[in-house]
């Protein structure tokens, strides 16, 4: 089966999505193909990597287990850093995505009900904004629509990876499509299949980290008062609470609490939940209304022992996971994708084997250390604020005082939160 047939099938699915006719067209079994890169996982990070390789000259196959109509339907919103916005702009989707997301221009940081509030403004960075908040569907749909017009990218969806045989010069992937197996030979496999990555596990790559004593409740609320494009982060002894502004006077709530408390919050009567939420927000947003369900997920920190193996690279949650405080998780994955795309494109232009360990080591040396800094930073924030031990209370409030009073420290912290520290991919520098 030719690549263009898969592209036509994908365009058909996207057209049905646009008209809300979410039907699935079974794919036709394929023959054996050869590719330079096989990306396993067509979520936000995998799709970003494929899109970032648009001008690389590399032939890419994107393998995703879910049909696009299902993959885009996650009811979640994400904080997007300034760096992520730049990457999407250089890829070529920002002009379509920006009208569908919210921009925040003010960050409000507080320790429970303590009056020592820290506020960040665009002028602290010499910019007009501090970041963005977008729902899952418009971000992933924009990436999918972009990929549908990339002739060098083949889309296999829905498809399941059955086995990968890593050989010195290639990786042979057995893929199940429509109940039949086919083999794909590629120079590099990229695992973008999430925190429970089967590709990482099958390759024998271990992980280090821990599960926190907390779970995270997420929900979308409608506010009585305007949020004024403000992102709120308020730390409570039970865990941090983030409030991210969305369009039409809506916000995404990211509420972290110990497992039993989080479960109780999910099951709490809606009016009681709203009453407690209004107290936690200090009345700054007025009366609140809950839209949709309250979702819950456990929180963990994880760092893979290696980001690479012969003919394999890990990106996004397959490589690392962090505490949701500060909204860093997805942004780390987007930077992984941009960095790996840069390394692979340069290697290909130099005539190097993109699956060679010497090439992949450049990516690992770049991203593993930088991600570890953010993992440590989010872990530190959560642990120092999620308690009532008086010495730590004194230390953290001294820290907030320093942030308020010393501009250099405030700017450094803001640059770290917005993704402007460290080595930036070329896509984020333009």
pLDDT single digits (tens) 122-148: 999 999 999 999 999 999 999 999 999
pLDDT (average), residues 156-167: 95
Check residue 317 and report its DSSP letter.
Answer: G
Bridge partners (DSSP) of residue 110 are: 234
How does pLDDT run across 16-35, given as a tens digit for each residue?
444 333 333 334 444 445 89
- Residue 324: pLDDT band with limits 50, 70, 90: very high
**Given this model, what pLDDT does residue 68 score?**
87
Query: In what side-by-side order are the strands of the sheet with 288-304?
Result: 118-120, 106-111, 230-236, 239-246, 250-258, 207-223, 288-304, 320-321
Instruction: List the domains of the chain with CATH numbers.
Output: 3-73+138-208+302-376 (3.50.50.60), 77-136+213-299 (3.30.9.10)
pLDDT (average), residues 256-269: 96
Q: Say if residues 133 and 85 touch (Cβ distance below 8 Å).
A: no
DSSP letter string, 241-276: EEEEEETTTEEEEEEEEEHHHHHHHHHS-HHHHHHH
Which residue from 8, 244, 293 is spatially nearest to 135, judged by alpha carbons? Answer: 244
**Given this model, what pLDDT does residue 128 score?**
92
Distance between CA atoms of residues 193 and 44, nearest Å: 10
**Residue 359: CB atoms within 10 Å:** 20
How does pLDDT run across 230-251, given as a tens digit for each residue?
999 999 999 999 999 998 889 9
The token duo for 240 is: 């941090």
The token duo for 223 is: 């506010």
Q: Say if residues 328 and 322 touch (Cβ distance below 8 Å).
A: yes
Q: Specify the pTM.
A: 0.91
Lowest mean pLDDT: which of 11-15, 262-266, 308-312, 314-318? 11-15
Distance between CA atoms of residues 380 and 384, nearest Å: 6
> What does pLDDT average to over the chain?
90
CA 127 to chain CA mean position, Å: 23
The Cβ-side half-sphere exposure at 105, using a 13 Å CA radius, reads 8
pLDDT (average), residues 343-363: 97
Q: Say if residues 43 and 95 touch (Cβ distance below 8 Å).
A: no
pLDDT (average), residues 284-310: 94
**Given this model, what pLDDT does residue 33 score?**
52
pLDDT (average), residues 368-385: 94
**β-pairing verdict for 60-63 and 118-120:** unpaired
Percent pLDDT > 90 in the chain is 82
Strand, helix or coil for residue 400: helix
The token duo for 336 is: 């992984």
**Which residue do the tokens 């839209």 mark?**
291
Bridge partners (DSSP) of residue 140 are: none
Distance between CA atoms of residues 51 and 194, nearest Å: 18
**Given this model, what pLDDT does residue 30 score?**
47
């Amino acid at each position: 089966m030719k690549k263009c047939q898969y592209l036509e099938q994908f365009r058909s699915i996207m057209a049905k999505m646009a008209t809300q006719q979410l039907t699935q067209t079974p794919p036709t079994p394929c023959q054996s193909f050869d590719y330079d890169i096989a990306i396993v996982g067509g979520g936000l990070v995998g799709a970003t990597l494929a899109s970032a390789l648009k001008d690389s000259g590399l032939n890419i196959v994107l393998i995703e287990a879910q049909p696009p109509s299902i993959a885009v339907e996650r009811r979640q919103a994400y904080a997007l850093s300034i760096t992520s916005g730049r990457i999407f702009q250089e890829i070529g989707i920002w002009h379509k995505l920006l009208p569908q997301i919210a921009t925040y221009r003010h960050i409000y940081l507080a320790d429970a009900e303590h009056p020592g509030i820290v506020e960040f403004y665009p002028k602290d960075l010499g910019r007009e904004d501090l970041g963005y908040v977008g729902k899952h569907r418009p971000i992933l749909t924009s990436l999918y629509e972009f990929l549908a017009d990339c002739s060098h990218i083949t889309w296999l969806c829905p498809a399941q990876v059955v086995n990968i045989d890593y050989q010195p010069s290639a990786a042979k992937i057995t893929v199940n499509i429509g109940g039949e197996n086919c083999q794909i030979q590629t120079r590099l496999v990229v695992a973008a299949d999430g925190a429970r990555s089967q590709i990482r596990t099958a390759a024998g790559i271990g992980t280090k980290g821990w599960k926190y004593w907390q779970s995270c409740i997420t929900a979308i609320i409608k506010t009585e008062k305007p949020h004024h494009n403000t992102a709120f982060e308020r730390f409570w002894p039970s865990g941090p609470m983030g409030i991210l502004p969305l369009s039409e006077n809506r916000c995404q709530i990211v509420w972290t609490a110990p497992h039993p408390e989080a479960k109780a919050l999910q099951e709490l009567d809606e009016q009681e939940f709203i009453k407690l939420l209004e107290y936690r927000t200090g009345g700054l947003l007025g009366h609140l209304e809950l839209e949709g369900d309250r979702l819950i997920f456990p929180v963990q920190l994880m760092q893979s022992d290696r980001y690479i193996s012969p003919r394999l690279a890990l990106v996004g949650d397959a490589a690392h996971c962090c505490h949701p405080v500060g909204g860093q998780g997805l942004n780390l994955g987007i930077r992984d994708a941009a960095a790996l795309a840069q390394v692979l494109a340069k290697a290909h232009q130099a005539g190097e084997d993109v699956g060679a360990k010497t090439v992949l080591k450049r990516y690992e040396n770049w991203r593993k250390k930088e991600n570890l800094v953010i993992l440590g930073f989010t872990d530190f924030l959560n642990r120092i604020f999620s308690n009532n031990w008086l010495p730590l209370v004194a230390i953290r409030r001294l820290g907030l005082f320093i942030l308020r009073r010393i501009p250099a420290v405030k700017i450094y912290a803001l640059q770290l939160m917005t993704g402007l520290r460290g080595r930036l991919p070329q896509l984020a520098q333009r």
